[in-house]
Chain A
């Protein structure tokens, strides 16, 4: 599976890259801000993407996600605060909340790989939050 990583924390991005590679996938592009994404999508045709909400040019991850959804690239959000996500998750398969565990990421990768290959009846792992699972307890208080 050709994977793109959109993450502004370099250490985390590199670690994720290693984990993706260890699971037998190829990382075809890494972006730290939203502006770098279209080029990677055009030139490297990723089959899947990890997208952080907060990037170097601000909370632009959600826009990146909508763009990927439009282009038919499946993706999940990886973020420290998934409550910032819109309720429809901007078309994402799901979200992993940071800090995730190695097991959590390995299970999520296995699930994603299966979904991208067209397996549909597989249950998502506990580490992957789906849009319908999210309750928004502090949303009112935070605004």
Chain B
């Protein structure tokens, strides 16, 4: 095929002219030839803008020999997966005589592909006419495949996170449902227990028995109130002992229906761990109950309830002013034991003092840090 031979020899001659224009020791030509950056020069003044010069790095990159490359258009590097759009952009830039920098998938002689960061730039003579095109290539296949790996890894991680989140949400919903179900059953059972005791209170004629049953009922109700209030705050692991004390004291005093008992309160919200809710509530219950037993119910008087934080401590104080009466010894002993057991369970100290007609009971305990308690 003489035509091809002709064009190849044209290209070779053009290449020789280009090199010949430079003296032998020209450092630029030497650098062009020796650099590890693959580079070519094409001649747009010949048919089909053939390669007229390529350096050794370009031959190493593409696997083609100098002979195989000279006279060919650069499209011999294209293949089936090469983006037509990218090729179009290069063609437009070349026709317009403009620089272009693109990433393109190219093919080596052996058919393998490489990602080519291609830079093409026209070379103009003194008149401004384009005499050559210069192109440099950079194989960034490694970077590209790392990018793809990263993207794939990210997609996988995202998918796993999404799946895990779904699992967690599902199990949270199941857990919440379970907690509510168990809570509901516990409440129902406590209500049933209280009903049974109340039923027996109504049936019994014996005043002593009635008294004993009501004393049991009183504690069941205190625990029931704890259970009822456990899930009312935003934090299910916390229990507001202040709120409990306020309701207990107001309900008790209101139910006694006595104008001569005056209740005052200094109660602020004090959140305690849910595990301490029952003993602390029993403490409040015993203190308020004891004040009533010791005379308020008979002679009237004043009762003052304090629940508040105090310098890293938390204080429950029940103060009453009344004509003291001798309480029923069994009730008094039960109340005392309940108080002591509950206080010792939560590590609280009890201090009781009398000032004339005033009785003051202070229960103090250390407030835990939120993250160390549970």
B227 and A137: CB pair below 8 A? no
The count of chain B contact residues (Cβ–Cβ below 8 Å) is 36
Report A105 CB to chain B, min CB distance, Å: 9
B187 and A103: CB pair below 8 A? no
Question: Considering only CB atoms, which chain A residue lies closest to B180 in the complex?
Answer: A142
Q: Is B192 an interface residue (CB 8 A)?
A: yes
A101 and B225: CB pair below 8 A? yes
Type the 1/0 row for B160-198, where 1 means its CB is closer than 8 Å to any CB of A: 000000000000110011001001100110111011101
A-binding segment of B67-75, B105-113, B231-239: B231-239
Question: Considering only CB atoms, which chain B residue lies closest to A16 in the complex?
Answer: B195
What does DSSP make chain B's interface, helix, strand, loop or mixed? helix
A99 and B224: CB pair below 8 A? yes
Indicate whether A11 sits within 8 Å of B250 (C-beta atoms), given known contacts A99-B227, A102-B255, A138-B236. Answer: no
B252 and A137: CB pair below 8 A? no
A11 and B251: CB pair below 8 A? no
Type the 1/0 row for A1-42, where 1 means its CB is closer than 8 Å to any CB of B: 000000001011011001100000000000000000000000
Alpha-carbon distance A100/B251, docked complex (angstroms): 11
B251 and A101: CB pair below 8 A? yes
Q: Is B353 an interface residue (CB 8 A)?
A: no
B232 and A137: CB pair below 8 A? yes
A98 and B192: CB pair below 8 A? no
Contact partner of B233 (CB less than 8 A), chosen from A9, A106, A137, is: A137
Contact partner of A125 (CB less than 8 A), chosen from B188, B194, B251, is: B251
Q: Is B254 an interface residue (CB 8 A)?
A: yes
Max chain B C-beta neighbours (<10 A), residue from A12, A18, A103, A138: A103
Alpha-carbon distance A19/B254, docked complex (angstroms): 16
Alpha-carbon distance A122/B184, docked complex (angstroms): 32
Indicate whether A103 sits within 8 Å of B251 (C-beta atoms), given known contacts A12-B191, A15-B199, A80-B187. Answer: yes
Q: Is B217 an interface residue (CB 8 A)?
A: yes
Max chain A C-beta neighbours (<10 A), residue from B194, B217, B227, B236: B194
Question: Considering only CB atoms, which chain B residue lies closest to A22 in the complex?
Answer: B202
B187 and A99: CB pair below 8 A? yes
Indicate whether A99 sits within 8 Å of B202 (C-beta atoms), given known contacts A81-B180, A104-B251, A107-B254. Answer: no
Contact partner of B252 (CB less than 8 A), chosen from A11, A12, A81, A103, is: A103
Indicate whether A15 sits within 8 Å of B198 (C-beta atoms), given known contacts A103-B254, A104-B251. Answer: yes
Contact partner of B231 (CB less than 8 A), chosen from A12, A98, A106, A138, is: A138
B198 and A18: CB pair below 8 A? yes
B228 and A98: CB pair below 8 A? yes
B290 CB contacts on chain A under 8 angstroms: none
Q: Scan residues 219-252 of chain B and give those whose CB is less than 8 A from a CB of chain A.
A: 221, 224-225, 227-228, 231-234, 236, 246-247, 250-252
A126 and B172: CB pair below 8 A? no
What are some 7 contacts across the A-B interface (CB < 8 A)? A80-B191, A98-B188, A98-B191, A107-B251, A135-B232, A137-B234, A138-B231
Residues of B at under 8 Å CB distance from A?
Answer: 172-173, 176-177, 180, 183-184, 187-188, 190-192, 194-196, 198-199, 202, 217, 221, 224-225, 227-228, 231-234, 236, 246-247, 250-252, 254-255
Nearest 4 A/B pairs, CB to CB: A103-B255, A99-B191, A99-B224, A15-B195
- Other contacts beyond A103-B251, A103-B252: 17, CB < 8 A: A9-B188, A11-B196, A11-B199, A15-B198, A18-B202, A80-B184, A81-B183, A98-B188, A99-B190, A103-B255, A107-B254, A107-B255, A126-B246, A137-B233, A138-B231, A138-B236, A142-B180
